[in-house]
Amino acid sequence: MSEKYEKLPLEPFFKTIDELQPKFIERLQKAIAIPSVSSDESLRPKVVEMAHFLVGELESLGFTDIQLKDLGTQPPPVQDANLQLPPIVLGRYGQDPKKKTVLVYGHYDVQPALKDDGWSTEPFDMHYDKANGILYGRGSTDDKGPVMGWLNVIEAHRKLGWELPVNLVVCFEGMEESGSLGLDELVAKEAKQYFKNVDQVTISDNYWLGTTKPVLTYGLRGCNYYQIIVKGPGADLHSGIFGGIIAEPMTDLVKIMSTLVDGKGKIQIPGVYDMVAPLTEKEDKLYDNIDFSVDELNAAAGSDTALHQNKRDILKHRWRYPSLSLHGIEGAFSGAGAKTVIPSKVVGKFSIRTVPNIDLAKLDQLVFKHINEEFAKLNSPNEFKVELIHDGNYWVSDPFNESFQAAAKATEDVWNIVPDFTREGGSIPITLTFEKELGVDVLLLPMGRGDDGAHSINEKLDVSNYINGCKTLGGFLHYYGKS
């Protein structure tokens, strides 16, 4: 979006956000203080507490038709058979038929975090590093910062006495970090009800590519997750007694997993690359101006181990080519020390990140065929099975549509720079659900930076990204409302 655009008179709004900065930081601090870890059953009451915290915030800001949507009991595997899923929080701000309606999605659950994991400060006690302008805490960037950002936008409008340029519908869930259980069904059910007049969906649950230049994201890879199960003896055995005289499941599994991907990251399963969409000239040009370097990749990885040495190759392999990663082996000895056990059953986990135009069902067939053939070559007496655990399709949008152009104007207005148009290597499955069920465009409008450490220790959000992010979210609503 480099051609000149007509700037909207948003300075009073931006100034108000600056004035409210202390209050906005305090709001985020309160949100971070609630350890809403969805994967920890013992913390489920805290996830529910976070939902009620949001309801309180929405009520104080003048939202109407606020609903807590009950999703029922969590399906197995669970320790507590009666474990209830956390509710989805819905709310409206404005119902003017003359205005467009934007649905904003975010999640209020977070990844697990303990100080003992290596955090410099307590993960659920927000640490404000004033010298460097950084807010540390679990959920600061993923996704409590952006969720609070939308609330801050409303508060700034109210303080100014400005009308919101669009009708806003919020949809906040509490299971995003645990597979978004129940969300797809809710969106489908509410498509013609609560979400009936939605014109556009905006998601702020991703990040800039680097640390200095804002981006807008128009594509995501999908993810198919598989497991390989190899079962042998009836119980774990002593290698001094049974080593060399029984077929060991771990040996079979390691041999099979070694056939999936080579040391250069190339997938070894025949037929996968044949499905990948060819690179067009127009798509290739989008890589020209993107601000990224091998140094940034190495800094983010914490090592000098990049497989590609130039920007274009790195980004294409992260965004538009598939990848296969080996994640772990369940049932194997993984503690410290030297335990001489032969595991009786091992489960190898791996995933494939999918891209246009990979057909998921065809991919499953190729994966199963390859692994079954490799196991057959071993002539092993062990029991063997390969299965799909879950899948999520890739998503790609048109970076030249109305939503993206409005977001580009807002970003340029706030940051004084034309944003990069990027794709992401990760997955946000709900993007596809909203697009399919509501039949509208989805925009990914990130707040945080590429070095925020979303699922890592010392997760952070720069104050400048939090405050300018609020300006960008609000600015987007104005430019989109006028488009």
Q: Does the annotation list 478 as a binding residue?
A: no
Q: Which helix (H) or strand (E) holds 479?
A: helix 463-482
Q: What's the pLDDT tens digit per position in 280-311?
A: 998 888 898 898 888 988 887 889 999 999 99
Percentage of the chain beyond pLDDT 90 is 90
Known catalytic residue: 176? yes
Q: Does the annotation list 238 as a binding residue?
A: yes
Q: Does the annotation list 462 as a binding residue?
A: no
pLDDT of res. 282: 85
Task: Please identify which of the residues 155, 176, 413, 420 carries the catalytic annotation.
Answer: 176
Q: How many CB atoms lie within 10 A of CB 356?
A: 16
88-93 and 383-392 as β-strands: parallel, antiparallel, unpaired?
Answer: unpaired
Q: Does the annotation list 158 as a binding residue?
A: no
In the chain, the N- to C-terminal Cα span, in Å, equals 15
Q: Does the annotation list 73 as a binding residue?
A: no
Nearest by Cα to 218 from 418, 477, 444: 444
Report CA torsion sign: 23, 26, 30, 32.
positive
Q: What's the pLDDT tens digit per position in 68-123?
A: 999 999 999 899 999 999 999 999 999 999 999 999 999 999 999 999 999 999 99
Nearest by Cα to 16 from 155, 177, 189, 222: 155
200-203 and 101-107 as β-strands: parallel, antiparallel, unpaired?
Answer: parallel
Tell me the CA distances in angstroms from 428 to 107, 174, 244, 350, 434, one per residue in order.
Answer: 12, 14, 46, 18, 11
Strand, coil or helix: what is 382? coil
Distance CA 449, CA 4 (A): 26
Known catalytic residue: 65? no
Q: What is the dihedral of CA 472, 473, 474, 476, to 10 degrees?
A: 80
Q: What's the pLDDT tens digit per position in 434-457?
A: 999 999 999 999 999 989 999 999
Q: What is the mean pLDDT of the chain?
A: 96
Task: Please identify which of the residues 109, 420, 459, 462 carries the catalytic annotation.
Answer: 109
Encoded tokens for 332: 């194997």
List of domains in the chain: 10-220+395-482 (3.40.630.10), 222-276+321-392 (3.30.70.360)
Distance CA 163, CA 104 (A): 18
185 residue type, one letter: E
Q: Does the annotation list 340 as a binding residue?
A: yes
Is it the case that residue 261 has pLDDT exceeding 80? Answer: yes
Q: Does the annotation list 317 as a binding residue?
A: no
Q: Interhelix angle for 144-160 vs 11-19, to 10°?
A: 120
Q: What's the pLDDT tens digit per position in 344-382?
A: 999 999 999 999 999 999 999 999 999 999 999 999 999
